[in-house]
Structure formats: structure tokens, C-alpha cells
A and B are shown apart, each in its own frame.
Chain A
Amino acid sequence: MTTPSDRVGARAGGWASVAIAILFGLPAAAQTGQPASAYKAPVISDTGKLKGPRQPIFFRHDIHARQDQIPCLYCHSTVTISSEPGIPAVQTCFGCHQMIGGSTPSHQAEIKKVRDAWANRRPPEWIRVHSLPGFVRFPHQRHIKVLGTDGCITCHGDVRQMPQVYQVSTLTMGWCINCHVQRNVPRDCTLCHY
């Protein structure tokens, strides 16, 4: 459903993303002054062999986070302030992909899905990979505060190496407790179950 205010928002968002695209259109390394990654992500033709669930858009963390060195927080921006890391809005994707159309036909086909999602206002329905039962609370912000903004790797594995995200850790209670014992941090039941 598109309301008039949505349309206004889309127009304003469109102009804002032009400005953002000019700023962020280049790989992150070019802005931060860090040496560009030597890693060049391979073209993957057989996606059937990849681990993890197949997603509606073949979004590659190995290209975005490893080759282009975009920090995790650029897209998962609420991870330091909320229990939820935040799944980036299509606006965030389109901010860059308004300008970046892809270098190979397969990349172009996937980026076209992002542009269509923006144009049709129909966000992709990602398949959830990491999920906890409803009776457990996991505050991302407290873990990031201790482990740092590169600490995602501790539970999620090195997502930078993954063309398609899959679950590395079991996320069972024993696995959580194990880490809490090793680091000698509280293990009260009510810490997570409340």
C-alpha cells in the first residue's frame, strides 16, 4: 500500500541517496585511507553448493565486507545501541546501488532485484539464519560493548568469508554458558530468561 506520505518520502529519500551515493559510491577503503583489500571475490556460478539457506537476493558478505571492506555497522547500524542489530532498509542498499550496477551479468541480475525492490517498494523477505527461541533474550549491544565492533565473528563466524551466510555456532544454552564460564561473566538464569 502506498500512501501519499510514502511517495513524498520516496522522493526525498531518492535525493538523499544520490548525495550518499556520491559519498559512499567508492569502496570503503578509498574513504578511510586504509589500503584497499587485495582480496578479489570470485564469480560463483554454482550457488547450489554453497552452505546456508538460499536467499531471495544473492547478497554476498564476502564482496561487501571483505573485498570492499564495508564495516558491519554500516548496514547493521543499531547493533551497538539495541538488542537488535538491524536489518538494513532497502533505502540503505539503494543508497549505493543507485550508482553501482555490478561488473558481471550475474551481479547485475542480483543488483537489479535490489533496484526493483526499491522501485516497487517490496522489500526482500530474507530467510532468517540465526534465531533464538522466544524465551531467551539476547542483547546485542552489551556483547558488542565487551567484544568490540569486530566481535561479531565470535558468534557468527567470519561472515566476511561467506558468499552465503550459514549458522556457525549452535546457539544452544550450553554454548552460551561455556563462553560465560570462560570469560567469568554472570550466569544467572534471569540474565537471559526474563
Chain B
Amino acid sequence: MDRRRFLTVLGATGGAAAAASACSAEPTEHLVPYTVPPENQVPGIATYYATTCRECAAGCGLHAKVREGRVIKLEGNPESPINQGRLCSRGQAALQGLYNPDRVTEPMARGPNGQWQTLSWDDAIARLQAKVKEARGKGIAFLTGLETGSFGALVDGWMREVGGRHVTYEPLAC
């Protein structure tokens, strides 16, 4: 098929599709209910949660706007002594990380030729256990971004137990 023929066919089918869609009824909409509704949510009304930004080590106070169980907007918490209601562009953009299609959603490890491979949770936990056992007393570092609240405390406590260090990194300064 040459270029001219291709464009002719494309134009004809495109026109036909446009005509068909103009005549047909509106597409069927579906209403999909929850199996178990999330707590404190009313459909159509936003719920606000006070939380902490983890984009850098400052740990600014946030108000997270949640609709139907999904965060849709972050703003600075005016009562936070750190940012007093303000929020930098990185904090504003933190949602992009949450919904990024390329985000890490399951355990991964480097394979023999250095490529990332996904692992099952059971496999990953077993490997971590073996590694920690092997390295205990020789020095362990637990590398995270800023971790606040109970998870941060858990990591700190665990590292004290196994004689390691909790290292937080800050890849970019804002």
C-alpha cells in the first residue's frame, strides 16, 4: 500500500467512524460500587487528612484532600511550625510520584546480570532474612528517604537491634 492509498483509506474509515458515533446513542456508563466502603468517606464530599510531606528531610506539614478514598491534592498545613501553610513545588508534585505508572509496586532485586527482576513477597522476605543474618555484626545500612511516625521509629528500633544504621538520603535539594 502506498502513502496515497493509505491516507485515502484512513480518511474514509475515519469519516465513517465519526458519522457512526454522531448517530449512535451515548456510551453506556457503569456504576461500580465498593465491596467494602473506605472509612470516613462520603461519595461527593472530600475528606482532609493532616499528614507529613516526605519529599525532603524538612518534613513539612500537609493537608491531603481525599475524594472517594484517593488523594487528589496536597497543600501546606497552616498550623505546621515548619512550613506555616506553605508548600514547595516538589511537595505540590508529590502526587505525581504516588500515581506514577512507573513506580515500584512490588519487591525487586538485581539478577545475575545486573538487571532488575521482580520477586514475590515471600521470596523477598526470605532473602532479606538470610542477608540480615549473614551481615549481622558486620555492618548493615537501611537506606530510605525521610520516614516519619511509626515506620521511622520501627526502622530505627530494628537497626539498633541488629547493630546497623538507618541512613536517610536526600537526592535533590529544593
CA distance A87 to B43 in the complex (A): 9
- SS class, residues of chain A in contact with chain B: loop
B42 within 8 Å of A by Cβ?
A: yes
Q: Which of B4-12, B29-37, B54-62 faces chain A?
A: B29-37
Contact between chains at B30 and A125 (CB < 8 Å): yes
Closest residue of chain B to A118 (Cβ to Cβ) is B35
Q: Which of A25-33, A88-96, A155-163 faces chain B?
A: A88-96
- SS class, residues of chain B in contact with chain A: loop
| Chain A contacts with B in 1-58, Cβ cutoff 8 A | 6, 9-10, 13, 53
| Residues in A neighbouring B34, C-beta threshold 8 A | 89-91, 123
Contact between chains at A128 and B31 (CB < 8 Å): yes
Q: Interface range on chain B: under 10, 10 to 19, 20 to 34, or 35 or more?
A: 10 to 19
Candidates B26, B28, B33, B36; contact of A87 at CB < 8 Å: B33
| Residues in B neighbouring A83, C-beta threshold 8 A | 44-45
Contact between chains at B35 and A117 (CB < 8 Å): yes
CA distance A122 to B33 in the complex (A): 9
CA distance A91 to B38 in the complex (A): 11
Given contacts A125-B30, A127-B28, contact A89 B42 (CB under 8 A): no
| Chain B contacts with A in 15-52, Cβ cutoff 8 A | 26, 28-37, 42-45
Candidates A10, A86, A118; contact of B43 at CB < 8 Å: A86
CA distance A117 to B35 in the complex (A): 8
| Residues in A neighbouring B37, C-beta threshold 8 A | 89, 91
Give 29 pairs: A residue, B residue, CB < 8 Å, sorted on A.
Answer: A13-B36, A78-B43, A78-B44, A82-B42, A83-B44, A86-B42, A86-B43, A89-B34, A89-B37, A90-B34, A90-B35, A91-B34, A91-B35, A91-B37, A118-B35, A121-B35, A122-B35, A123-B33, A123-B35, A124-B32, A125-B30, A125-B32, A126-B31, A126-B32, A126-B33, A127-B28, A128-B31, A131-B26, A131-B29
